[in-house]
Each structure stands twice: as structure tokens, then as C-alpha cells.
Structure 1
Amino acid sequence: MTTEDNPSNILRSSAELRYADELARLRAADNDPRPEGWQLSPRAVRRFILGDDKQAISRKFYGDDPLVDRAIVTLMGHQGLMLVGEPGTAKSLLSELLSAAISGDSALTIQGTAGTTEDHIKYSWNYALLLAEGPSKRAMVASPLYQAMESGKLVRFEEITRCPPEIQDVMISLMSEKQIMVPELGEQARMHARRGFNVIATANLRDRGVHEMSSALKRRFNFETVRPIKDHAFEVELVLRQVQRDLDSAEVTVEIERDVIALLVTAFQELRSGQTREGTPIRTPDTVMSTAEAVNVAYAAALEARYFGAGRLSAREIANQLQGVVLKDNADDLKRVQHYFDTVVRERARRDEHWKTFRDAARSLWP
């Protein structure tokens, strides 16, 4: 039996598989005009990403709704879409959802790294066939971008700024001319992109090892910044829903209090922004304190509560798992978070039992 035969064995399936029923319902009811090459109309794509109660479509991206509208409009035009922002702000998720809704295929992806080559972007060869038959379409190994051009789909370029500048610049002519030249194929050397093709790139401008994009390449993209969630209640609800979804998927039962998740979100938002909810400035750590990281902490804490505790998530497990977030990048981050506990958390611990548990657990971990 393959994983396709038994989906419960898949840790994380692609968006088009996870939400196949929703996509099918949207297609069946979609009477709005759609661009050539698109699986859904722009209105249906928006409903797929932001949700629609009337059609029982779940909301999948939480944040700036007008950003989603602008992203969809960009992908209908000639410019590519560049999603930039802090780590953990769901840039890749939005890219995946757009590709699944528009092209029905989110797997056409290039992962940008320092080792990405021009072959990864254009094409390479099956050298056994190349030696046996000579240059031919059968011997060519098409890149995800080549496949997207050929089939009229979106291609995702994750972390494009991790590629060296000379590799990034390979995209300039491809995005301008919308064609790939394969000189080895002779008369079949030119492949023109079909309608529906476009590029969604993501860039994290914060981490070490990223490269500045050239002005020429920037002009080929419309830039959209995906920002962290600022609404406290909204972020609490998001973390709570995602953790519960992950626990249900793993068939793990844990009692979770909303106040405990609210404590986690409060700590993350304050350390992220450098200011407490009372307006007091605090020192911010270099490490990422994103919503995605908060979900990871809450989920790990819930598993600890299930397998090493009484099955009820408390601030103690949250503090235990927070250490894995803090001790990632900079040794000084520990001092900054300790200062947060010695000042902000200590004061709240005098008035609130959850914050007291949070502080006591952290003191035993970080003497």
C-alpha cells in the first residue's frame, strides 16, 4: 500500500490534496470569468484562500486580506509576485495556496540555496539517454520552471535571495521573454510559455546568507510584504485552531486552556515588537518569534503534556519548550529573555497563576 492509498500515513500532503473537496466545490459553482490557463476564477481563488461560509470553504491564510487580492491581480498580469517578510509569516503557505487554486499544482517549486545552479532553473540532461540517443526531448530533464512554462502553470521560487546574484539574474530574461532556448535541440530549440504561466517568489531579507537582488530582477516582480499578525485575539485564535488541528491529525487528546495560549501569544508579541502591552520598552531577541514558531511551541508543549504530564497543557510546558526557540541564533538572546522574565513576567506572576507557573518553570530551566 502506498501513501496515496493510505493518506493517514502522510505527514503533510500538498494543498491541492488537503483541500481537494473544497477545490472541487469551488470549480463546480464557479461561473465567474477566469483568465486563460487558470483552474478557478479570481473570485473563487480568493474564496479558497480567505474562506467562504456559504460554500463551507475554510479560511487558510490569516493576515492582510487586501494583500491576497493584490497578489491575485499581480498573477493575472505580466509581473511576477514577490512575497517578502520576516520568517514564519506564511509566505510559503500563501505561495502554495495560490498555486493550488490557480494551477491545481503546487509542486512546481525551485528551492533557492547557495548551491542552486542554472540547470535547476532551466533544464539538465539524462546523460545515459543523451549518450545513447543524442539531444532530444526524451533525454532532457525539465526544471519545474520549464514544466510550468510548457503547461501554463505557476512556478514557486522559494528563498530566491539565497541564490548567488548571477543565478538570480538567469530569471531576468526568462521572465521578460517568457521563453527558454535549448540550443541542443536544433529546430525545437525555442519553447514559449503558455498562458497561465507566472512566478511566485519568496524572500526572507532577515537571515544571514541572503543576497541583494539586482534592480533589473526587482523590476520583473511586484513586491508584497507579508507582516506578522498584530491583533492579539486573532493570533490566539489562530494558534489555538492550528494546534488543535495538528493534535487531531495525530489523534492526540490534550486539554488546552485558551488562557495558556493567550500567555504564549502575549510573550511572543511582546518579544517580537520590543514593547509590553503596557507600553514598556524591552530588549528583543534576534531569534524569530513568529506565529508559526508559536504554533510549534504550543504543539510541542501539548505533546509533552500528553506523554509526560497529566494530559492538560499548562504554562509549565510552554516554558519548557520556549528554550528551544530562544537558544537558536545568538547567545545574548538568553540574557534578553531572562531579562523579560525578571521584569515583565515576575510582575505579572504576582497577580496571575498562569504567569506564576510560567516564571517558576523558566527559573528552574534558566538559573
Structure 2
Amino acid sequence: MTSTQTMQRPPAEVRYADELARLREADSAPKPPGWALSLDAARKFVVGDEKRGITKKFVGDPSLVDRALVTLATSRGLMLVGEPGTAKSLLSELIAAAVCGESTLTIQGGAATTEDQIKYSWNYALLVAEGPSPRSLVPAPMLRGMAEGKIVRFEEITRCPLEVQDCMLSMLSDRVMAIGELNGPDGMVFARDGFNVIATANTRDRGVNEMSAALKRRFNFETVFPIADFHTELALVEQEAAKLLERSGVELAPKRDVLEVLVKTFRDLREGNDRPPPS
């Protein structure tokens, strides 16, 4: 595996391994079945806790995090929708890291996404030599998530064709995946405690591939709104820009006046305020 020092962007469970370990050690509250942390500890990991030295990682409505965690604890799929750049993917990554300690079981939605990339595929050399068998099966994120009791993240689900999206119906309702090529017990994979799905959808892409009503019923929808306060967003951008420059070896602090212009421009574009100011 690539060492942490050479990773361009380590996953949340690697970046915040110390915080997760401290939360697990001090966590005495009841945990939902299959979870690594209790609801309270998972919330603290995302929204921060100064007393325990847990940094704030998501700048948004804490009640959104509460609702998201309760949704997952009750075995409902979670759908995060919102404008581009509202940290939907970051929130799903943080929640997955808190709930199961792994955020890398990810499906990236797109026009070329196939059912094989969601469920499973085959090692064709072994398939030809031995026929269908557990040894020739290559699990995709959904199969791994169900078998190991982990959170699966489905990014930009509405960019996938409708028939590809709907392959998840039985997995989200009956919590079982049928592998038609295998016989006996190997042909059915039942979800273990802890399995669930966090999907994201960009509201700008909503018309690309609308979700079926059946699939929508399997999810609780939560809207992630842009940061309301200009100065909060500016501070966040300044902090992240400084981190990127430091990692790149650039000994130059980001200029605040330039960042102000950039943040203001993107806020105006988001809000549709594209008219020039009066002269």
C-alpha cells in the first residue's frame, strides 16, 4: 500500500486516526449493531468537540449530522442532495469513517457505470478454468459492504442510467444480494449488521437520470445547503488553501484579498447574482 506520506489525499480514517482512536477508547454509550462508535461519538467526530481535542470537520448545520446518523442507525439509506461544492462527499466520507472505520467502499456514478462495478464481477481466467465459484468472484463495493457490514458510498447516483440505479432495490429493501451464477449458500449474500448506503446527488444534475419512485422510497433525503455566512466560508477556504500550499512546499501564505474576490464570485454564481455592480 501507498504510505501516508506519499498519499495525495489520505482517507478520513487515516487523516484522523488519532481522533477516532480516542473517541473509541472513551466511548461508553450504546452502539447501533455493527457500528464502531455510538451516535454521540460519531457526531463529535464530524462536528468537533473542543474538550476532547476533536477538530470540527464539517462546517454546516449540526442537526443535519444528527438526522443523517439516526437515518443510518435505523437501517435506512441516506441520500445527500445539494448544490455543487456543499461538501456532500466530505460529509459522507466522515460519517462512513465514524460508523465503520472505512470510507473507501465507494462507487463513482457516471454514464459509464455498470452493474458489475456496483455488485460483483469475475476473474475470467479462473472462470474459464474452474467455472463460476467463490474463488473466481471479484466483489465490488456493494458486495463487500454487505458481507463485511460496512457503509457503501455511492457518489453522484443520478448520473447513472436508471436501470443501473435500480439494481440496488433488493439490496436496500431485503438486504440480500443474489449471485445467480453460484448455487447453494454461496448464491446468496445477506447483509451483516452495520451495512448501509450513503448516496449523493447534485441538484444541478437532477434531470440527467431521475431516480425511480421505488428507489427513492429506500432513502431518507437530506439537503446539504451552502455555507450561509460569508466570513465562515472565507475562513474555511483560507485554511484549506494554506494546507495545500504547505503540502506543495510553497512558502507563501494565500492572499486574503484574492480569496475574498474568489469566494464572493462563487457565492454570486451559486445564488444566480451575475449582474455587474452599479457604476
Match of 2:248 in 1: 250
TM superposition shift of 1:60:
0.8
Equivalent residue number for residue 239 of structure 1: 237
Paired-residue identity, %: 58
| Alignment partner, residue 175 of structure 1 | 172
Cα distance between partner residues in 2 of 1:249 and 1:24: 25
C-alpha displacement at 1:260, in angstroms?
Answer: 4.0
The one-letter code matched in structure 1 to 2:211 is: M
Note the alpha carbon deviations across 1:191-239, whole angstroms, 9 max, x for none. Answer: 1100100000011131487200111110000001111112111111111
Deviation of residue 57 (structure 1)?
A: 1.0
The equivalent of 1:3 in structure 2 is 2
1:300-357 deviation line (CA, Å, top 9, x unaligned): xxxxxxxxxxxxxxxxxxxxxxxxxxxxxxxxxxxxxxxx2xx35xx5xxxxxxxxxx
Rounded Cα–Cα distance in structure 2 between residues aligned with 1:184 and 1:172 = 19
**1:90 equivalenced with 2:101 (yes/no):** no
Instruction: Note the 1:300-339 alignment, pairs <5 A.
Output: none
Question: Is the CA contact (8 Å cut-off) linking 1:22 and 1:48 kept in structure 2?
Answer: yes
Q: How does 1:109-258 map to 2 (within 5 A)?
A: 109-188=106-185, 189-207=187-205, 210-258=208-256
Q: Alpha carbons of 1:166 and 1:255: their partners in 2 closer, same or farther (altered >3 Å)?
A: closer
Letter paired with 1:201: A
Q: Is the 8 A contact 2:159 2:205 kept in 1?
A: no
TM-score by length of 1: 0.72
Question: Displacement, 1:263?
Answer: 3.5
3-state DSSP of counterpart to 1:124: strand
Q: Which amino acid aligns with 1:159?
A: E
Give structure 1 regions of 4+ aligned residues with deviation exceeding 4 angstroms.
none
- Name whichever of 257-266 and 78-87 sits farther off: 257-266
1:324-363 → structure 2 map (5 Å cutoff):
340=276, 343=277, 347=279
Q: Distance in 1 between matches of 2:247 and 2:66?
A: 31
Q: Which runs of 5+ in 2 are unaligned?
A: none
Task: Tell me the alpha carbon deviations over residues 143-202 of structure 1, each in whole angstroms, 9 at most, x when there is no partner.
Answer: 100000000110011111111111111111211110011122211211110010000001
* AA at the equivalent of 1:250: S
Q: CA deviation at 1:134?
A: 2.0
Aligned CA distance change for structure 1 residues 274 and 117 (closer, same or farther; 3 Å): closer
**Matched residues, number:** 278
| AA in 1 matched with 2:143 | Y
1:256, CA displacement in angstroms?
A: 3.7
Partner of 2:54: 57
Q: Does the 8 Å CA contact 1:230/1:269 hold for their aligned counterparts?
A: no
Query: By percentage of residues, which structure has more strand?
Result: 2
2:42 aligned to 40, 45, 58, which one? 45
- The one-letter amino acid paired with 2:240 is Q
In structure 2, what is the equivalent of residue 69 of structure 1? 66
Matches of 2:123 and 2:148 in 1, distance apart? 21
Which SS does the other structure have where 1:206 is aligned?
helix
Distance in structure 1 (CA, Å) of the matches to 2:206 and 2:188: 38
- CA distance in structure 1 between the aligned counterparts of 2:120 and 2:266, rounded to whole angstroms: 43
Contact between 2:241 and 2:254, CA under 8 Å: does it hold in 1? no
Q: Give structure 1 stretches of 5+ with no counterpart.
A: 276-281, 284-339, 348-367
Query: Residue 21 of structure 2 aligns with which residue?
Result: 24
| Deviation sequence 1:48-82 (CA, Å, 0-9, x none) | 11111111111111112111111011111132000
Separation (CA, whole Å) in 2 of partners of 1:170 and 1:193 = 16
